[in-house]
Amino acid sequence: MSGTHTAETTSKITGYVIGAVKRVIPPSAQPGANRLFDKTTNAVESALGWREELTPPLRIRIHIGPFADPRLYRLAGDMNVEGFKDLAGLKPNAAFLDIACGCGRVARALTKYLDASAKYEGFDAAKKPVEWAQSVITPKFPNFHFRTADTFNKRYNPLGKMGASELIFSYEDNTFDFAFAGSLYTHMVPEEVTNFVRETKRVLKPGGTTVATYCLLNERTLPIVDAGKSMPRLIYKYGDCRVRTPKDPAHFIAHPEEWVRKLYEDAGLKIVEPIARGTWAETTPESMPLEKYHLGGSPSSRASQDAVIAVKS
């Protein structure tokens, strides 16, 4: 088994174990059990020389992605920031918006790059990861802030009070120089993507940049997807989209490139050409360079997503 498959399998098994334990522990006892679990896994990682203060405990990392190995978690964030710099010109003094920030994977990496005059804001529907970032990162870096958005998400916030298609970002117009949405729109149906792209444009400053990852369907990728050869397999139709499972279209979804282009144009966002192609559907010489930045996933996966970079008109 390759290192890639080992990392992904370990993360899945760990997630299943945590979920199984939660189901048998009474709700009243879960906070104590969580503290004990975190203390134990942190001690193991410390003994292995893997712990770092701004890296969340295993229980939190697994909640937001396949990051059983904390070194992969850190590498993913570090390489994301390299991608922002190399592909989109992120500056150290930027006002940065992290859309679906999780527990601060990108924020942790940005603490080493953004200077004291910069501002970081992140929001996410998942309450526990945000609370961890608020309690650990913000006290050490006061210009880094996190908040929750009470939107419904089947996995992360099943009791959310509104749909993602209704959310108004909690920021003023023309606030940010840079906005990132990594592997978010691959988990949103079209009306939700539409709202988030429009809101992103609203809160960006004129000339501000947005980077977002997608699985884009076009004349080249669609035949590969329909043949079941994409990573992941997206063989079911959902309108003009393709999804992993029709029971939960937002579990993983690919959107038509033509539709995404029209959405950005209508929103007042000019796409920087050419779109950076990922390897989720096929691997070509043009798509290989994007893999190192991990903009749409973790270093344990060899299936990078397409990166759409756009500027507010």
Please tell me the predicted confidence (pLDDT) of residue 20.
47
In the DSSP assignment, the letter for residue 289 is G
Q: Which two tokens stand for residue 295?
A: 């903009």
Q: What are 15's two structure tokens? A: 């997630």
Determine phi and psi for 205, rounding to 5 degrees: -70, 155
Q: What is the percentage of the chain residues whose pLDDT exceeds 70?
A: 90
Tell me the average pLDDT of the chain.
90
Q: Which residue has the tokens 């603490």?
A: 111
The domain ranges of the chain are 3-69, 72-312
Domain 72-312 has CATH 1.20.1290.10: no
| Residue 203 tokens, joined | 């809160």
Closest CA to 212 of 181, 184, 256: 181
Out of 46-60, 145-159, 233-247, 283-297, which region has the weakest mean confidence (pLDDT)?
A: 145-159
- Structure-token pair, residue 87: 């592909």
| Distance between start and end Cα atoms, the chain | 48
Residues 6 or more apart whose CB falls under 8 angstroms from that of 57 comprise 37, 38, 41, 42
pLDDT-based confidence at 8, cuts 50/70/90?
very low
- Using an 8 Å Cβ cutoff, are 206 and 118 in contact? no
| CB contact burial 82-118 (16+ within 10 A = b; e otherwise) | bbbeebbebeeebbbbbbbbbbbbbbbbbbebbeeeb
pTM value surpassing 0.85: yes
Within 10 Å of residue 173's Cβ, how many Cβ atoms? 10
The pLDDT score that the predictor gives to residue 13 is 45
